[in-house]
Amino acid sequence: MPLHVPPAPAPALRSVLMALGSPTAVREARTPSLRTAQGDTTPELPLPLHVLDRITPEGVAETRLAGWRFVIRCGDRSVAAADTRLTPDGWAFSHFFEGPYIASTERALRQAESTPQPVQARLLSVPGLYMLTLWLHGDSDSDGTTGHPAPTDVLVPLAPAPPGIAAHRAHRVDELLPLLTPRAKPAAPPLLGSPA
């Protein structure tokens, strides 16, 4: 199978396992399906979660690793997801959540299994557009924590995608970034004395 998923750092996985074992953490989570899950819950499908901080004038996407995301399964169904974040003391559990991105991520991963060349699965968040993509990185041997989207890498917008961008349609980075650039830039402040 040409789709590679890098192993999550052991402390990140341990922090999620500890949260799943904590009745307080589960009870206080805003995830009804996790609170009512019957049976054992397990974290699976760990993916590094990168954030697109900005797109340079040259069209290069500058990203940073923000955490690791795990799908929480109970039996044969996904009931929630868990995010971890890097703190000064190492990897720590951040929060549980549910919603459409979980099923959309699983669907995109199934679609990506048929890619002809080896790729590494990552998530790329574009906060300015409230957009999440599956990032198929060409360096399948990377540890998943470093690197920027290469022009030939593939991004698959997850549902719900921003207006005008089709969910689950694979785009090369050099095709999708030009569509995102004008949307992701903050509006310039009006000049003094000009109408707002």
Q: How far apart, in Å, are the Cα atoms of 1 and each of 70, 113, 115, 124, 145?
A: 21, 7, 9, 22, 21
Q: Are 105 and 125 in contact (CB under 8 A)?
A: no
Asked whether residue 7 carries a pLDDT value surpassing 70, the answer given is yes
What mean pLDDT comes out for the span 3-8?
90
What mean pLDDT comes out for the span 37-66?
87
Asked whether residue 36 carries a pLDDT value surpassing 60, the answer given is yes
User: Cα–Cα distance between 146 and 64 in angstroms, integer?
Assistant: 7
Instruction: Tell me the pLDDT tens digit for each residue of 52-83.
Output: 987 776 667 788 999 999 999 999 999 999 99
150 — pLDDT class (breaks 50, 70, 90): very high
What mean pLDDT comes out for the span 178-184?
70
5 contacts: CB under 8 Å, gap ≥ 6: 45, 46, 47, 120, 121
| pLDDT score of 115 | 86
What mean pLDDT comes out for the span 89-99?
95
In terms of Cβ atoms closer than 10 Å to its own Cβ (0-12, 13-18, 19+), residue 48 is buried
Mean pLDDT across the chain, nearest whole number? 88
What mean pLDDT comes out for the span 129-154?
91
What mean pLDDT comes out for the span 121-139?
93
Q: Say how many C-beta atoms besides its own lie within 10 A of residue 177's C-beta.
A: 19
173 contacts: CB under 8 Å, gap ≥ 6: 61, 149, 150, 151, 152, 153, 154, 155
pTM for this entry: 0.88
Asked whether residue 187 carries a pLDDT value surpassing 60, the answer given is no
In terms of Cβ atoms closer than 10 Å to its own Cβ (0-12, 13-18, 19+), residue 25 is middle
| pLDDT score of 57 | 67
More confidently predicted of 53 and 168: 168
Asked whether residue 100 carries a pLDDT value surpassing 50, the answer given is yes
| pLDDT score of 53 | 84
What mean pLDDT comes out for the span 89-111?
95
Report the alpha-carbon angle 140-93-28, nearest 5: 135
